[in-house]
Amino acid sequence: MTIPGFALEHIPLPSGVTLRVATGGEGPAVVLLHGHPRTHATWHRVAPALADAGLRVVCPDLRGYGQSSAPEPSDDLHTHSDRTMAGDIALLMTHLGHDHFSVVGHDRGSYVAYRTALDFPERVDRMAVLDCVPILEALERADARFAEKWWHWFFFASPHAERVICADPLAWYQPDAQKMGQENYQDMVAAISDPQTVRSMIADYRASLHVDRDADARDRARGHQIQCPTLVAWSKHDDMEDLYGNPAEVWESWCAHRPESAVIDSGHHMAEDNPEQLTAVLTEFFLPS
């Protein structure tokens, strides 16, 4: 069991994919969405604490990640777009009996989180995005610093990415078992060792540079905003402040309500580096006193 005390199951959805999902706790529902190349197990210390605080916590492997379905990428890239993955999350929560829910996303999961909030405003009560600005904003601000720090976005879009990664996935990703926790480490290693999963994860990035960017542009052009209360949090020891100053200010025009903000004293993988502070921040946001 990758998250202590949580039930683990594989749930087939009407969208044609099956998601591996860990669930635990009782109370208002919140979905935790992991980033690249992690699985739901990245939340192994945060999710039980949120459940203990009084939340129903749902942790899926995103489409194409972990042990969820890794469909063949489509030529138009829509199979692995954020909109398609957001649709998976809406279907999953319907299956689990939740008409309303909140959502947390880290890294790639943040893009799915805000797309869920934009496309299903009547269902998403609150949203937290971690180490993320909207894809369109990131690409429009891309300069030499961005290219140096986030070069992997463009490498993953190349036709050579899968061959390079699959040649030695452990050397490429360099997971740290001691830092991650043994079960989380083993779960990620199993995922990155599967060439089809690697291909799906890379397809996620390829979609972001085209399909997802275009979706953001259309939303911005028509003034479509995130309607729910939003929390923007970022890692103190990552590069978000170097690139964007205060990332929450980047989000302001995307949100109907001014977003709250928090800085987590961690590196990029905040759920593993500082789960205590992250849990406290999320608990205060989702269960305000």
Reading the chain (289 residues) residue by residue, the pLDDT tens digits are 689 999 999 999 999 999 999 999 999 999 999 999 999 999 999 999 999 999 999 999 999 999 999 999 999 999 999 999 999 999 999 999 999 999 999 999 999 999 999 999 999 999 999 999 999 999 999 999 999 999 999 999 999 999 999 999 999 999 999 999 999 999 999 999 999 999 999 999 999 999 999 999 999 999 999 999 999 999 999 999 999 999 999 999 999 999 999 999 999 999 999 999 999 999 999 998 7
Q: Which of 61, 107, 131, 187 is catalytic?
A: 107
CATH homologous superfamily of domain 7-286?
Answer: Alpha/Beta hydrolase fold, catalytic domain (3.40.50.1820)
Q: Which of 36, 98, 268, 269 is catalytic?
A: 268
pLDDT of residue 279: 98
Q: How crowded is the C-beta side of 270, counted as CA atoms within 13 Å? A: 27
Instruction: Give catalytic status of residue 107 as yes or no.
Output: yes
Bridge partners (DSSP) of residue 58 are 23, 31
Instruction: Give catalytic status of residue 34 as yes or no.
Output: no
d(CA 61, CA 85): 11
Nearest to 275 by CA among 104, 117, 24: 104
Residues contacting 45, CB < 8 A, separation 6+: 181, 271, 272, 275, 279
pLDDT of residue 1: 61
Predicted model pTM = 0.98
Q: Residue 97 phi/psi, 5° resolution?
A: 90, 20
pLDDT of residue 288: 85
Domain ranges of the chain: 7-286
How buried is 74 (Cβ within 10 angstroms: 0-12 exposed, 13-18 middle, 19+ buried)?
Answer: middle
